[in-house]
Amino acid sequence: MNKSEKIRFEKTISFLKETLPDGAKLLDLGTPNEMGTHLKNSGYYVDNAYGVDFDEQPEIIGKEGYDAVTMFEVLEHLINPMGILKAVEAPKLYASVPLDLWFAKAYRNKKDRWDQHFHEFEDWQFDWLLEKSGWKVDRAIKWSSPVGKIGIRPLLRTITPRYYLVEASRA
């Protein structure tokens, strides 16, 4: 795990622990990754929904019985994230997105159509998307993503917020 991932995982778990009790049942959206392992190791029961094009089938996650739905670094990959946000039936949503960086273009892996960003948000844009899809932002944090390299862009990444994490409830 690199330095940036470690910071992201630690901040995310700490953020959840402030209001989400141990033993909470979570539906984690996106491909299985180390974050799911960290959530489980932190005392949460975690189901994962992946392998579905959420743009095409947002209703796939309209399952009841979860205390919260988590979407960490998922929404930026969707053409229309509003569909999936409207489909969530859990009372709480914890979601993070990469913030738009004025000095870097949106991420794109030309060899993998799932590994590219259609959106990189400003915080107000993400808040507005959540509001328009029926959510109220209860609290949020932002943080930078140091990469441990030398140069102008690495310096800017150290001081410019890169990630935005929110806790939201149904409006």
- Cα–Cα distance, 119 to 106 (Å, whole number): 7
| Structure confidence at residue 39 (pLDDT) | 93
Residue type for position 19: T
pLDDT at residue number 2: 79
Contact 13, 38 (CB under 8 A): yes
What local confidence, expressed as pLDDT, does residue 63 receive? 67
Number of H helices, E strands in the chain: 5, 6
What pTM value is reported for the model?
A: 0.86
pLDDT, averaged across the chain: 85
- The pLDDT score that the predictor gives to residue 60 is 64
What residue ranges of the chain have pLDDT lower than 70? Answer: 50-63, 101-109, 113-118
C-beta of residue 133 within 8 angstroms of C-beta of residue 86: yes
Q: CB-based burial of residue 36 (10 Å sphere; 0-12 exposed, 13-18 middle, 19+ buried)? A: buried
The superfamily CATH assigns to domain 3-170 is: Vaccinia Virus protein VP39 (3.40.50.150)
At residue 131, the pLDDT reads 97
Domain extents in the chain: 3-170
